[in-house]
Every structure is written in structure tokens, then in C-alpha cells.
Structure 1
Amino acid sequence: AQLRAAAEGSVAAHIAGMRATRPGGSEAGVAAAMVGELMRRGLGQSYGPIVTVHGEVLHNERQVNPIAAGDLLLADVGGETDEGWAADITRVWPVSGAFSPTQRAIYDIVLASNVAAIQKARSGVRYRHVHETAGRVIVEGLRSLGIFRGDIDGLIERGAAAIFFPHGVGHLLGLDVHDMEDLGDRAGYAPGRSRSTRFGDCYLRLDRDLEPGMAVTIEPGFYQVPGILGDEAYTSAIGSDLDRDVLARYADVRGIRVEDDVLITAGDPDVLTGGVPKDASAIESLMREARG
């Protein structure tokens, strides 16, 4: 019940953020609307809110920028009950109220990755395989746009996913937004399992077989990080199979992440945060309604 209460209040906060967004406003103004909704519902913040037009900067907790038409706003905001039960949601929406064609194309790939990974998150499934599912959908989608060239399996084997998705697909959730991580990999990794040394995969926080009662986040993303794209240490294995001319057409997409909180059951995954729109058309509809 506490986990659901945190999720429900956080859902309301994200909807409030979408409704409060206007060109000419500010990251801080949207963050204030979201945190205010959490407070109105008696919730604290489970972590420092991330509300930014620079979604390519992971864990960017500084809300200092104006927001303008053409920007995508990434909001990673979650509430926490008095007892400490946490929620963790990320959504991305267009400041103008409508995605550009290039923004929509990338957004739909990340959304498809989120949906596929959630469907994979079932009792008995190894969480690493959920992560791999998310990465494969990202690579397949970028291959369909022409950003990647070549065989899908070969691209994945050479680490293509991590160029744009350089983190794990999620983590445990509960009496902390990163539940039990103070215990390190003793909590997140099953006996006999250890972190990969490969870029991207090495940041996977959880590698256990999922069981009923576990709560996890599912949060794939796409980020154009200059420090990755400009460093051959990360891109040389892909080489010319990364078509930078095609990628340049998507310059209005800095960072996108779609994150939900999922309760593992004996049957289908229970998405606790499904009340926040994540289909691009549904987001646009909500924003049109908010603006009259």
C-alpha cells in the first residue's frame, strides 16, 4: 500500500509538470509544480528532482535553464512516504506541446524498449536479460532509422547499445529509491554473479532472478552524450556502422528516458506508474487540454 501511495502521488506530480510546461518558462518552474504536487499529497522527495532540457546529462539536478519551443523536457521525479517507501518515474515531453518528427521517431524507440522490457520482467527471469531486451530494441530501432548499419546481432555484440544507452535498465525499489544499494553488489547481484566489465553493462545495478514481491524500475533511454560520441574508446568497435550524417538529423534530441515502477507478480508485471501518459500522442493530448 505504501509503495502504491508513493507511485500514485508521483504520477500526479508528473501530470502536474506536463500541465505546467509553457514555452518561455523555466526548468525550475516546472520542478516547483511537480514538487508542490508531491507536498500537497503529503509526500516527500525520494531523491533530488531532475527536470532538464539537457537530458543527455544523467542525474542533472540543477534547474537553471529556460525552456523553449523545440526543447524536450526530461523529468525524473519521485515521491516518498513518511515511512520511506519510494517511487521513481521519468517522462519526457515537448515544451511546445508537440514532438517534432525526429523527436517522435527516437521517442517511440525508447518507449518500445520500455514496453518490451516491462513485458520481460516476470518471475523467474534474470534481470540482466531484461536489460539486454531493452538494449536490443534500442539498437533495432536506431538501425531502422539508419543511424546504425549492419547486422543487429553483430552491432549488439560490439556494444552498440551502450553508445546511446550507457546505463543499466533499472534497479530495486522499496524503502529507498535504490533499495538496499548501501550493501553494494551483495544485494543487487546473486551469488556467483558479478558485474560485466563492458562499458554500459558495467553499470547494471541488479542481476538477480526476479521473484514475486520484488519492485524494480524499468528505465531505458537514448542520450547524445558528447563525451561518448567523441571518444573512440567507446565508438571504435562500431566505426562506420554508426552513420553520423544520419545521426545529425536528430540533433533536436538530447536525451530521452521512459521509466516506470514495476511490481513482480506470479503472473503479468504490475506497472505501478502506468497512470502517467507515455504514448507520445497521449502526452500531446494532455498538454493541448491543459492549454485550452
Structure 2
Amino acid sequence: MFSSKTYLNRRMHLKRTLKTGLVLMPGNSESPMNYADNWYPFMQDSTFLYYTGINCVSDLWVLIDIDKDRDILFGDDATPEEMVWTGAAEPMVELAEKSGITMVRPLRELETYVTKRRQQGQKIHFLPPYRAALTLQLAELLGMRHSEIATSASVDLIKAVVAQREIKSDEELREIGKAVDTTVAMHTHAIKNSRPGRTELEIAGELQSIAIGAGGNIAFPIILTINGQYLHNHPTQNRLEKGDLVLCDCGAENTMGYTGDMTRTFPAGERFSDLQRNVYDIVLDAHNTAVSGLEPGVMFKDLHLLASTKLVEGLTQIGLMKGNADDAVAAGAHTLFFQCGLGHMMGLDIHDMENLGEQYVGYTPELTKSTEFGLQSLRLGKALQEGFVVTVEPGLYFNPFLIDAWRAEGRFDDFVNYDAVEKMKDFGGIRIEEDFAITASGSKLLGKALAKTPEAIEALKNS
């Protein structure tokens, strides 16, 4: 945890922003895998974690009573019988003290407190829940139908939380840097230990052990695949062969819940083929071009479109596309090869605050999220600010199903050389991703440097 003053100040800032009302801030509960006592690894709700610092304890609620200037932790101390299974558990009073909270109440009093405030006409603020069990809890607590909960979430609270959490403090940046350093170690291992004869799952298991050994866990299910043409293809028993490209997208979550997220694409064998290197260089050029534009005031959507143009220019040079690159991007022809967004916010969540709604996190009332294929997957479009942490991850993906469907439709014939693209249907995909903090004058790469050029990747692989 940070100091209690950090969490006290965060809650004070939230109170000043909202001015009135009662904020309901639930932590997460345990989630069973296949029966009640067999749980998935616990992950605390990130907003609860941000405002309290309490990470590894389930079934807690914090109520921020703005009108009475009162913060209350609701939760129950573990009983001796429960500690037979879990070992010693920190008392609620001690957890609260570390968070700068002076009032602690048993969980059974939560409903009485909330009901009384509701009857007094106090405005109730809560965030949209992303777990079904919490939706039911909120419905019961607030006397609402469960179908009403999502639409009754407080927009004022969503906007206040986003405005606060999107600007990372120096102490947060240090924690994110630690998570990225572990992520770099995971990728270094993947590059050096991926070789013909090994399976995707073997390597992915070793990467998860690195994350756990650093004191945390993986930030999201590892993507490690020889089928990089599919954006989120998780590891299987596929066995690597010479000539394969391996796409590895993984990240670590550190002990305080902060995350890293990086991607590298590398050969299973000792070297890239000439074609693999050519396509890799196209992606690398788009990546470096976008990175060079990171600075406060720049629209991230514009960087996405700039990177897309660079991808089209490169594909045109190797004969896969034709015509004017700007026109191709404006028409959406590039999305045959680049179907996702350039990047996203990162922090306590790998897609930071995505549960609050992408329109609120990545866009503004004046800039709405697109519904067009490709652009609809751009999670961040608005102007960058000092203190943002973002990923930059352009890619090229040769998806045979999409290629066949669009060719049959004659879609974008003016820009796509389908005869040449036909020969790329077994190529796979390439993505390069790094994490950056936006500074006053530009950006700063987070974490230790990791091989990124084809030459550096080959040198690391064969060292």
C-alpha cells in the first residue's frame, strides 16, 4: 500500500468533485471455479483498490458519505474457525487505519445505513457493476430491479473517477514501471526459449511463473501463439516449427495491482525470413511514427490514423495494397489487415477503467466512439494529457476468413491487390507493443528496454 495519506487525499478529492451524496464502493467477492470453496485467484476491484489500497481481502464495502464527511469500512473480521483454513487475517480496524479510515462497521449494518440515507433522500452514487452477483446485491440494497442497475449507475461518479484515475502520480508511475520490468522479463524469456519442438502452452506456463515469482500474477490471460492473425488467440498445444512466427502479448500485475502490457513477435527458429522481416519493418515503422507523436494535446485517434497510413504505405511498397494511402485509410481498406485500435489506457487495469465505459474513459462528449469496423475497437481517441499511461500497439494481421469474405464481396478492390494477398493467408500476424507515460514535453518509455528491431530480436534469441 501507499501511505494512508494517499488514500485519504484521493477520497477527499472525490468528495470535493461530487459535492454531495453517498458513494457506494464495493470490493470484489471470491468467485468459484466449479464449486463454492474452489475459487479463482482473487482480484480486487480496481476502483476500490485505488481509493482504499486494500487488495487481498474480499467482501468489503467502503461508503463515502460526502454530506457527513465520513468514510466507513464495512466488513467482518475472520473468525477463528475461518482462520483454520486461511491462517491469520488482519483485523478490519488495522486495514482501515492503513487506508486512513477511522470508522469500521460489521457488514450486516451496511443495509441499515444505506436504507436510512435513501429514506432521507440522499443521492446514491455507484459505478456500473461488471459481476452478476454484485448487480443482484446492489438491486437488493437499493430496492431496485436488477435490470435497472446498469442504467442507474452514477454518471457523475463515473466522470469523477475517470478524471482522477487517468492522471497517474509519480508513485503510481513507479509501481507501473515495476510491473513493466517484470513484463520485460517475461518477454525476454519468451524470445530466448521459444524454439521448434516446444508448445505454446509450455512457454506460456513459464511466463506465468515469472509473473507469480515477482510477487503478483499475470495481468490478463497470456496470448502466445503461432496464429497471430487472430487478435486474442490464447496458447494451445500447437508445437512450434521452424519458419513459424510467434506472437507473444503478455503482462504482469504487481503486488499493488498495477500492470504492464507488451507484445513482441519473433521467429520460432533462429532468423526471420525475408518476407517476415519486411512485414515486421512495416509494423515497426508505424509503431515508431506513432510513438514520436505522443505528447499532451495530441488526439490519440489521429495517431491511430497516422499509424494506419504508415501501414498502408508499407503494404503498398510490397505490392499488397495500391492507390493513395490517405484515401485507403479514409475508406477503411486498411482494416483488412489492422482490425483493432492503436492502444489503450493502462494502470490498475490492463485496459484501464474499461468497466466504467469506453466512451467515458477514451472519448469526450464532443468526440464519440466510432461504430465503424476497426475504429470501433479504438478504446482511446481523445487528446493526451500529462500523466496518462498508454500503450502503442500497431499490427498487421492476415486473417484468411476475412480475406476470403471481403474478396468475395469485392470490397476495397480499388485499394487491395487480392491476388497478392491470397499468398499471405498462411503468414500469421505481427504486433509490437510498448507502454508510455505522457510527460510535459512528450513521452517516456516505461520499464527496461527490450529488443524491438529484427536485428536485436535475433541477437537476443541466439545469445
For normalisation by structure 2, the TM-score amounts to 0.60
Query: What SS does the corresponding residue of 1:51 show, helix, strand or coil?
Result: strand
Q: Which residue is equivalent to 1:144?
A: 317
Give, in whole Å, the separation in 2 of the partners of 1:234 and 1:9: 45
Deviation at 1:250, TM superposition (A): 3.8
Unaligned runs of 5+ in 1: none
Deviation at 1:273, TM superposition (A): 4.5
Give, in whole Å, the separation in 2 of the partners of 1:149 and 1:233: 15
- Asked if residue 55 in structure 1 is aligned to residue 239 in structure 2, the reply is no
The letter for the 2-side match of 1:206 is: L
Give, in whole Å, the separation in 1 of the partners of 2:243 and 2:375: 32
Q: Aligned pair in 2 of structure 1 residues 241, 193: CA closer, same or farther (>3 Å)?
A: closer
Alignment of 1:74-85 (within 5 A): 74-85=247-258
Give, in whole Å, the separation in 1 of the partners of 2:221 and 2:404: 29
- Asked if residue 168 in structure 1 is aligned to residue 341 in structure 2, the reply is yes
Deviations 1:91-114 (A, max 9, x none): 000000200001011011011111
Unaligned runs of 5+ in 2: 1-173
Q: Say which of 260, 275, 278 aligns to 2:434.
A: 260
Query: What SS does the corresponding residue of 1:150 show, helix, strand or coil?
Result: coil
Deviation at 1:26, TM superposition (A): 0.9
Q: Say which of 279, 283, 303 aligns to 1:106.
A: 279
Deviations 1:56-85 (A, max 9, x none): 111112322111101000000100012110
- Asked if residue 19 in structure 1 is aligned to residue 192 in structure 2, the reply is yes
For normalisation by structure 1, the TM-score amounts to 0.94
- Which stretch of structure 1 is more off in the superposition, 271-280 or 97-106? 271-280
Q: Aligned pair in 2 of structure 1 residues 264, 77: CA closer, same or farther (>3 Å)?
A: same
Q: Which residue is equivalent to 1:157?
A: 330
Cα pair 2:191 2:461 within 8 Å, conserved:
yes
Identical positions, percent: 35
The letter for the 2-side match of 1:130 is: L
Query: What SS does the corresponding residue of 1:28 show, helix, strand or coil?
Result: helix
The letter for the 1-side match of 2:319 is: G
Cα pair 1:102 1:250 within 8 Å, conserved:
no
Alignment of 1:183-194 (within 5 A): 183-184=356-357, 185-194=359-368
Deviation at 1:198, TM superposition (A): 2.0
Give, in whole Å, the separation in 2 of the partners of 1:10 and 1:165: 24
RMSD: 1.7
Query: What SS does the corresponding residue of 1:22 show, helix, strand or coil?
Result: coil
Give, in whole Å, the separation in 2 of the partners of 1:38 and 1:245: 44
Q: Which residue is equivalent to 2:456?
A: 282
Q: Work out the number of aligned pairs and report it.
A: 289
Deviations 1:89-138 (A, max 9, x none): 01000000200001011011011111111111211101101111110110
Deviation at 1:245, TM superposition (A): 2.8
Q: Which has the higher contact order (CA 8 A, sep 6+)?
A: 1
Q: Say which of 356, 365, 369 aligns to 1:195.
A: 369
- Asked if residue 231 in structure 1 is aligned to residue 410 in structure 2, the reply is no
Deviation at 1:25, TM superposition (A): 0.8
Q: Which residue is equivalent to 1:221?
A: 395
Cα pair 1:9 1:43 within 8 Å, conserved:
no
Cα pair 2:323 2:414 within 8 Å, conserved:
no
The letter for the 2-side match of 1:218 is: V
Cα pair 1:228 1:235 within 8 Å, conserved:
no
Query: What SS does the corresponding residue of 1:239 show, helix, strand or coil?
Result: coil
Q: Aligned pair in 2 of structure 1 residues 69, 275: CA closer, same or farther (>3 Å)?
A: same
Q: Say which of 348, 361, 380 aligns to 1:206.
A: 380
Q: Which residue is equivalent to 2:294?
A: 121
Q: Aligned pair in 2 of structure 1 residues 252, 229: CA closer, same or farther (>3 Å)?
A: closer
The letter for the 2-side match of 1:34 is: L
Cα pair 1:45 1:78 within 8 Å, conserved:
yes
